[in-house]
Amino acid sequence: MSNNRIIQVQEKVPLSKGIPLSIQHTFAMFSASVLVPYLLGISPAIALLMNGVGTLIFIFVTKGKSPAYLGSSFAFISPALLVINNPALGYRYALGGFVVTGCIFMIVAVIIKFAGVHWIDVVLPPAAMGPIVALIGLELAGNAAQNGGLILSATYTSINPKFAAVFVATLLIAVFGQILFRGFAAAIAILISITAGYCIAFACGIVDFSALHQQTWLALPNFMAPKFSLQAIAIIIPASLVVISEHIGHQVVTSEIVGKNLLEDPGLHRTLFSDGISTALSGLCGSVPTTTYGENIGVMAITKVYSVWVIGGAAIFSICLSFIGKASGLIQTIPAPVMGGVSFLLYGMIAASGIRLMVDSKIDYSRPRNLALTSVVFITGLSGAFIQIGSVKLTGMCLATIVGIVLGIVFYILDRLKLTNDYEENDAGSAEESGEAEK
């Protein structure tokens, strides 16, 4: 496996190399994936189990043609907490909302199956989709910096030199590992940077082993049956829009990375349907909704290893971790600055993929509509503007997606009615150029 060797989506990897590559993906998703159940007050073990099962279902339904890891979705934290903290409801009623949400995903997937995906170019043309994909990484950049202790917050009231040093060291190892490492080491540069960052953090005395000591060797996931309430369902389902928007964006950026149109083959209907099955099954078993993970997309972008076999291996490791308390406890001891340093690069790679999409699409920014689309979508996503719908706040990439869709449809209608001046200006410019050429 040379430094420039690309491992394709359905290509098998030798076990000796596949295991560390899969562990690398497990590390990338772990901290974010267990944070969601932690915030909702349930055991992370059930989330790790259902994330792994959901990922395997995703690979099966998509016929092994789309590499994606399904982790715990952050979009449902706010509405789920409203249901959990309601004395008349509770977590089991939130689970009922999760089940219904999964069914909504599957219904939308069926509609996409018959409507096709060409409508995406109408409602989300490249001038809008490019910045939306970039926003997936850009809006997470602050989280990476905060994990590294570089941003003052309720957690970090001052800059800790040790945290900053570990963050920078981990980031530099990850960055230069892509350039200097050779052979298989280049493919597991993220894993190497996490390991090296952990050692540096241990030397600095900032590794907390309490999570490891609290865990037993065997930890059985806590299954829980859902209950259904129209009130809880009404609170939960608006978050579906966030995940559907996120899902489309992730499939577009993954398509750019692997060099194949995954919206066509295996099809957006299959990938979204898979996510729906996973989310509904998670709700039935007591876990949280799932979504495709940007962290794992970033790992693929850096390593150029797109194999679903590697992703499947990560899913199996996640399932094993759900039963081995000490193993998951050990991963939980990885300090935030280490994961922050790695995430800093991963999120940046996702943002760069959005820019790459715009470059590859050869968007003509001499056309006012393209310039307006990209400008408004970027500013909407980065400005902090939001719209409140019940308990769900639409902001960042999700709000930018909605704005991009509205503008895309409006511009399309104006084009069909021949009310825009784009084509007239371009035609006039072409005529002038032709006249000059003739002279």
Question: pLDDT tens digits for 232-250?
Answer: 888 888 778 778 877 888 8
The answer to which of 89-103, 144-158, 393-407 has the lowest mean pLDDT is: 144-158
Residue 378: inside a domain, yes or no? no
Pick the residue with more confidence: 133 or 266? Answer: 266
Residue type, 306: Y
Query: What is the Cα–Cα distance from 169 to 244, expressed in whole angstroms?
Result: 36
What crossing angle do the helices spanning 126-138 and 239-258 adopt, rounded to 10°?
Answer: 100
Pick the residue with more confidence: 338 or 396? Answer: 338
Q: Model confidence at 19, in pLDDT bands (50, 70, 90)?
A: very high
Residue 420: inside a domain, yes or no? no
**Per-residue pLDDT at 157:** 67
Give me the phi and psi of 385, to 5 degrees please.
-60, 150
Residue 431: inside a domain, yes or no? no
Query: What is the Cα–Cα distance from 344 to 301, expressed in whole angstroms?
Result: 14
Query: What is the Cα–Cα distance from 203 to 399, expressed in whole angstroms?
Result: 43
Q: Model confidence at 284, in pLDDT bands (50, 70, 90)?
A: very high
**Per-residue pLDDT at 154:** 58
**Per-residue pLDDT at 396:** 81
Task: State the total domains in the chain.
Answer: 1
**HSE (side-chain half, CA atoms, 13 Å) at 82:** 16
**Per-residue pLDDT at 356:** 82
Question: Smallest Cα–Cα separation from 333: which of 31, 38, 32?
Answer: 31
Residue 273: inside a domain, yes or no? yes
Q: Model confidence at 227, in pLDDT bands (50, 70, 90)?
A: very high
Mean pLDDT of 108-132: 84
**HSE (side-chain half, CA atoms, 13 Å) at 206:** 21
Q: Model confidence at 391, in pLDDT bands (50, 70, 90)?
A: low
Max intra-chain CA distance, the chain? 85
**HSE (side-chain half, CA atoms, 13 Å) at 282:** 34
The answer to which of 65-74, 192-201, 205-214, 391-400 has the lowest mean pLDDT is: 391-400
Residue 5: inside a domain, yes or no? no
Residue 395: inside a domain, yes or no? no
Q: Are strands 70-72 and 290-292 parallel, antiparallel or unpaired?
A: antiparallel
Query: What is the Cα–Cα distance from 293 to 55, expressed in whole angstroms?
Result: 11
Task: Find which of 112-116, 218-222, 344-348 is predicted with most confidence, using mean pLDDT.
Answer: 112-116
The kind and range of the H/E element at 396 are: helix 396-416
**Per-residue pLDDT at 302:** 84
* Domain of 186, in residue numbers: 15-364
User: Model confidence over 304-348: pLDDT tens digits?
Assistant: 899 999 999 999 999 998 998 887 778 778 888 988 888 888 778
Q: Model confidence at 2, in pLDDT bands (50, 70, 90)?
A: very low
**Per-residue pLDDT at 319:** 94
Q: Model confidence at 178, in pLDDT bands (50, 70, 90)?
A: confident
**Per-residue pLDDT at 155:** 61
Residue 437 has pLDDT above 50, yes or no: no
As a whole-number percent, the residues of the chain with pLDDT over 70 amount to 91
Angular region, 53: left φ>0, alpha ψ -120 to 50, beta rest: alpha
**Per-residue pLDDT at 436:** 46
Q: 3-class DSSP state for residue 7?
A: strand
Residue 166 has pLDDT above 90, yes or no: yes
Residue 183: inside a domain, yes or no? yes
The answer to which of 64-68, 183-187, 284-288, 367-371 has the lowest mean pLDDT is: 183-187
**Per-residue pLDDT at 434:** 42
Query: What is the Cα–Cα distance from 171 to 184, expressed in whole angstroms?
Result: 19
Q: 3-class DSSP state for residue 259?
A: coil
Full-model pTM? 0.74
Angular region, 5: left φ>0, alpha ψ -120 to 50, beta rest: beta
Residue 32: inside a domain, yes or no? yes
Give me the phi and psi of 72, to 5 degrees please.
-65, 135
**Contact (Cβ atoms closer than 8 angstroms) between residue 135 and residue 354:** yes
Query: What is the Cα–Cα distance from 366 to 425, expressed in whole angstroms?
Result: 10
**Contact (Cβ atoms closer than 8 angstroms) between residue 36 and residue 73:** yes
